Structure 1
Amino acid sequence: MPEIQLLRPDHAPALLAFERENRAYFAASVPDRGEEYFARFDKRHSDLLAEQETGACHFHVLIDAAGEVLGRVNLVDVAEGGAELGYRIAERAAGRGLATSAVRDVSALAAHRYGLTALRAATTLDNGASRAVLARAGFTVTGETRLAGRPGLTYRRSLADVPAPRVDH
């Protein structure tokens, strides 16, 4: 079973491979990261780790038994007991329930390790898989939005009833 891990410096090579391998797949449902992201990946990775140290964000990777990254689940803009949830799962791992499991696991970490009380998320209307993940993970629709010019929905999840993490990550 894949494991959720807090982002570390040594994740950089596997994370870069994940982003490169899935670039076209992700671009079909979310805005492409652009060439600059890949050209400056090492600097960006260092910047993310520094930001994580401040407590403003909690970046997680979903790692398989071989040490490869299967997904990311991030909590950003941590403030006033809440954070914005974002996630992406590798094409080769999609459709197996990993996204739902990872979102649930990070929700448990958010509540029990980071002391958060609610999470927010958003997805485009045409991303049915992401909408299904959020619904299965206990998020409810709170409104409409636009993401990169595309119509979308906003979501919220109270963490008051989230059970403790299954394992200590």
Structure 2
Amino acid sequence: MTQVRIAPWSEDDLDLLRRLNAPEIRAHTGGPETDAQVLARHERYVRFGDTGQGCMFTVVLPGGVKAGSVGYWEREWRDEQVYELGWAVLPEHQGRGLATEAVRAVVAVARDRRTRRWAHAYPSVDNPASNAVCRKAGFTLLGETEFEYPPGHLMRSNDWRLDLSARRPAPPRRDRSSGQLP
């Protein structure tokens, strides 16, 4: 599995955001945005990490290659404060498990904040790849729901939930005498 890292969104990530605005990437999220909308989104992403309400990250591969975005943000869902997660990976990097690794990394960041119990993701019911990411990252499918995204547009989504207060799996225990795994 490729090791990915996530880096807070920066001024240098505008080109990546423009590439992530492609029709094939935005097909399940309302389609591409105008350049003005992309510029406004980029400015929000750059400032967002300083708000304390979440953070957007660049998905970075070994060698510094930028492969996508991932983030979490506060929202109210069914009268409860939760984190919502979202991600996108460039087509040339899809199908390699990078989105799942990036989601796991951002879950760890959100979990370490200790401010919300639940993280949710709402991929379209017609997006098998994003639904698979949720399953592989340990989310539980709660069922289908109507979800507003982009604003003013209702879409049929799956509601996936992850308990941020659950203990993380312990690393494998080593045999103290030999240093080997039991």
Whether 2:167 is the aligned partner of 1:161: answer yes
- 1:61 is aligned to 58
**What CA RMSD, in Å, does the superposition of the two structures yield over aligned residues?**
2.4
Separation of aligned partners in 2, 1:48 and 1:62 = 14
| Stretch of structure 1 that moved more, 95-104 or 145-154 | 145-154
State the identity %. Answer: 30
Secondary structure (helix, strand or coil) at the match of 2:122 reads strand
Q: TM-score of the superposition, structure 2-length normalised?
A: 0.74
Matches within 5 A, 1:7-26: 7-13=9-15, 15-20=16-21, 23-26=22-25
Task: Give deviations 1:35-54, integer Å, cap 9, x for gaps.
Answer: 1xx23544432233223311
Structural mapping, 1:12-161, within 5 Å: 12-13=14-15, 15-20=16-21, 23-35=22-34, 38-39=35-36, 41-77=38-74, 82-112=82-112, 114-115=113-114, 116-147=116-147, 148-159=153-164, 160-161=166-167
Residues 4, 63 of structure 1: 8 Å contact kept: yes
Instruction: Quote how far apart the aligned CAs of 1:158 are.
Output: 0.3
State the shift of 1:60 in Å: 0.9
Measured in 2, the distance between the counterparts of 1:41 and 1:30 equals: 14
Query: CA, structure 1 residues 56+144, in 2 after alignment: closer, same or farther (shift >3 Å)?
Result: same
Q: Which 5+ residue runs of structure 2 have no aligned equivalent?
A: 148-152, 171-182
Contact kept? 1:84, 1:120, Cα under 8 Å: yes
TM-score normalized by the length of structure 1: 0.79
Whether the 8 Å CA contact 2:7–2:57 is kept in 1: the answer is: yes
- Structure 1 pair 2–111 and aligned structure 2 pair: CA distance change class (3 A): same
Q: Larger Cα Rg: Structure 1 or Structure 2? A: 2
Q: Say which is worse superposed, 67-76 or 102-111, in terms of deviation.
A: 67-76
Q: Which residue of 1 aligns with 2:6?
A: 4
Per-residue CA deviations over 1:26-83 (Å, capped at 9, x if unaligned) read: 1332212421xx2354443223322331111211110234534211111022677631
User: For the Cα contact (< 8 Å) 1:108–1:163, is it kept in 2?
Assistant: no
Preserved CA contact (<8 Å) 2:7 2:58: yes
* d(CA) in 1 for partners of 2:62, 2:124: 32
Q: How many angstroms apart in 2 are the aligned matches of 1:28 and 1:42?
A: 19
Q: Distance in 2 between matches of 1:41 and 1:34?
A: 6
